[in-house]
Structure 1
C-alpha cells in the first residue's frame, strides 16, 4: 500500500468522495444544469501552457501577497501564499471539525478564509458553527464574511453588526444569486438532503433566545425570508456603506461591464466567480472571464478569482492572467472529509508546494514576477 496516497488534489478528491454518501458527494460535485460550467471552470486552465525561463536566481521563492490592503482602522492582511479558502456552506457535512477546523487550517498555513453565510445557517450545533467560533479558530485569517441579501433589511443589518463585532473585516456580497440556479442533483436528492440544506434558519446569527416570546419573534421574523432580487447598484452599495464599516467586496462578477460599475460605485474589491458553476450553466468559465475584468479594473481595486483551481500550476496561471489572489472551495471540503483540519492543511500545503515549484521552474522568484508572458495559448506560436 502506498504510504503517501495523497500527492495531488485529484488524489484527495478521489479518496474524500469515496468516504461520503451519495447525496453529499453529488451536493459537492454537481452544479447547475448539465454541469458544463462546473467542468469548464477546471478545463479552462488547460488552454494555457507554461513558458519556463532559465538561469534566474530562484534560490529564494517569495510567495507572500496582500489579500486586503490596509485601511485607517486595520493593517494590511498578508498571506504567506496567494491561495485562500472560498466561502462554502456546511463544512460539518464533511467532518466534525467543521468550519472551525477549516479556519484553523487557514491560520496554520498563513492564508485567508471566507466564511459562508450558509455555514452558520443551521438548526443545531452539529450542523453549523457560530461566526464567533469560526473567527476564534482562525483569528485574523478569517477576514471575509459572505452575505446573501434577503429582503429583511433589519435582519441583514443585525447580521452585519454581529460579524463586524466578531472581528470580520470584509463583507463579501454575493451578487450572482437573484434566483437560485437549477441544481438538478439537489432537486433529485431533495427528499434525502439534511434539513439544514432545505430550510432557512438564522438562529446562530440572531443569537440565542431568552425565552419563548423571543423564540416566537425569531420564528416569525425568519419564516418569510426571501432573497432580494430587486438589488441595484445605486441602492445596495450605499446601504452597505451606511450599515457597516467593513470593506465592501462583490463576489460573482464575470464581465468587464460589471467590473467597471463596481469601480464606479466605490466597492473595495471583487471576486471573479460564477458560484462554482452552481448558478447558471453554460456561462463563461472564470479563468476566461478574468483577463477582460483585469483590463477593465486597471489596478484600481483588487481582483480575486475562484473556480476550478485544482493544481498549483492553476494558481500560477490565474496570477499570470492578472488575479491578485486565488480562492478554492470544493478542495477544502475534500480535505475535511479526508482528515478534518489536518486534511485541509494537507490540501493547502499541496497547492503551496506545487506553486513554489512552478514559480521556480518558470524563473519567478516572487509573485510580482508572474505575468502573461509566462503563458502561451495552446496552438499559438506567440506568448500572451
Structure 2
C-alpha cells in the first residue's frame, strides 16, 4: 500500500526526524539554553493575523521577486546550514540543485570550506557548480586568522559567488546543551565547529581558527571592502540601532535572524524584530529574514512586515532526509503552493502588493 503524500512541513518534519539518528535529530532540533528562542521563532507568527481584502482579481498570482539583481520565482530561499550530508549523501550540492529547479536561491554555509573530507561536506566550488545562478550567497565567519579569511574570500569570489553573509551573532558560541552532552559521540567535524574553545584546548595550534570575538563596525566592514568585490550582507541583525549602523557603514543588505535560536536563548523572535529593522533602514538596503518559517502564511506575514525575501533552514534538512534533492524540492513546492493560496485569499496578485495593511495584531497578543 502506497504511503500517503506529504502535504505540510509539519508532516515532513515528523518523518525526517524519525529517519535520522539521535545525535543528528538533536543537532537539528535543539538550540541554545532551554530552546525558548527556537520555539518563540515559530509561535511569534501567530501574533500577526491576516486581514484579507475581497474582489481584487487574483486569477493570476505572481510570487516572483528580485535578489542581487536576479529575478527569482518565489521569495523563499534556503539559508546557510551546516553538514547537509548528515541528512543525505547528495549534501549541499543536492540542496543547490533543488533551489535551482524551483528558480530560487541557496546560501552556502562556511562549513563547506572548512577542510572536511568529501564524505562530510561538498566544497563551495561543487555547490556553485551544482546550483549555478541559484548560488550567490556565501556565509562568512571571520576567524582570528585573517589571512585564512582573506584567502577564503578570494576563493569563493573566484568561484562565482556574488555576496558574503557576514554572520554577526556568533562572537561566542551559544550554550547548546544537547551538543555539549552529545559531544563525545559527535563526528569530528561537528566537534571542531561547535566547540572552538574546546578544540583550542585540545590543539593549541588551532587558536587562530576560532571566530574572532573582537570585531567592531569601524574595522571589519572596511577590511571586507578592501578584500573582496562581493556584496557585503550582515546576517544576525535584530535591532534598529544596528540596522542604522549597517546603513551608515554602507553594507549591501541585512538578514534579520537569531541564528534559529542556536545562539542567545530568551532572544527576540526574528519576525518580531523585523518591523523595527525595516523602519530603521528606510529603504536604503534590502532586508531579508529567517527563523521559524513553517508555512506559506508565515512567508506572507514576513513579507507584509517588510521583508523582501525569507530564508528557511531546518526544513531543507528535513527534505534531504526524506528524499534527497527531491525532498528539498518538495519543501519549496509546499511553501510555494501555500503562499499562492494565501496570497489569493488575502487579495494579493503580486508580492509587490503585500504590505502591513494586510495584518492585524492578534487580540490575545495585546492582553
CA distance in 1, matches of 2:208, 2:240: 35
Aligned CA RMSD, in angstroms, stands at: 1.8
TM-score normalised by length of structure 2: 0.95
- Equivalent in the alignment of 1:64: 64
Residue 78 of structure 2 corresponds to residue 39 of structure 1: no
- Equivalent in the alignment of 2:227: 243
State the shift of 1:79 in Å.
1.0
Residue 286 of structure 2 corresponds to residue 293 of structure 1: no
CA distance in 2, matches of 1:250, 1:2: 45
CA distance in 1, matches of 2:365, 2:163: 42
- Equivalent in the alignment of 1:142: 135
CA distance in 2, matches of 1:171, 1:380: 40
Structure 2 gap ranges (5+): 195-202
- Equivalent in the alignment of 1:54: 54
Match among 114, 119, 123 for residue 130 of structure 1: 123
- Equivalent in the alignment of 1:100: 93
SS in 2 for 1:4: coil
CA distance in 2, matches of 1:303, 1:221: 39
Structure 1 gap ranges (5+): 69-75, 202-218
Q: How many corresponding residue pairs?
A: 358
Residue 17 of structure 2 corresponds to residue 17 of structure 1: yes
Match among 284, 287, 299 for residue 268 of structure 2: 284
CA distance in 2, matches of 1:138, 1:311: 24
Match among 59, 78, 87 for residue 71 of structure 2: 78
CA distance in 1, matches of 2:43, 2:361: 13
State the shift of 1:366 in Å.
0.3
TM-score normalised by length of structure 1: 0.91
Deviation by residue 1:196-230 (Cα, 9 ceiling, x = unmatched): 101259xxxxxxxxxxxxxxxxx997564221111
- Equivalent in the alignment of 1:269: 253
Pairs within 5 Å for 1:143-158: 143-158=136-151
**Contact 1:200/1:222 (CA < 8 Å) preserved in 2?**
no
CA distance in 1, matches of 2:229, 2:7: 42
Match among 324, 332, 352 for residue 348 of structure 1: 332
- Equivalent in the alignment of 1:72: none
Pairs within 5 Å for 1:79-228: 79-199=72-192, 224-228=208-212
Q: 1:94 to 1:297 in 2, by over 3 A?
A: same
CA distance in 2, matches of 1:152, 1:145: 18
CA distance in 1, matches of 2:329, 2:6: 12
**Contact 2:47/2:365 (CA < 8 Å) preserved in 1?**
no
Residue 291 of structure 2 corresponds to residue 307 of structure 1: yes
Deviation by residue 1:227-278 (Cα, 9 ceiling, x = unmatched): 1111000110000000000000000000000000000000000000000000
